[in-house]
Amino acid sequence: MTAPMTEAPVKTNPHVFFAAGEVDGAPGLSASHCRICGKFTLGRVPVCSHCFSRDVESVAAGRRATLVEHSVAHHPAGGFAAPYAIGLIRTEEGLTLFAPLEGSLEGLAPGNRLRFVTVPRDGGATGFAYARG
> CB–CB of 62/94 below 8 Å?
no
Torsion of CA 57, 112, 13, 40, to 10 degrees: -20
Task: Please provide the average confidence, as pLDDT, over all residues in the chain.
Answer: 91
Would you state the pLDDT for residue 8?
Answer: 62
pLDDT in tens, 48-95: 999 999 999 999 999 999 999 999 999 998 778 899 999 999 999 999
pTM of the full structure = 0.87
Q: What percent of the chain has pLDDT over 70?
A: 94
HSE (side-chain half, CA atoms, 13 Å) at 73: 15
- Spatial distance between the Cα atoms of 106 and 32, rounded to a whole number of angstroms: 34
Residue 2's pLDDT is 46
Question: Could you tell me which residues come within 8 angstroms of residue 105 by beta carbon, excluding any fewer than 6 positions away?
Answer: 72, 83, 85
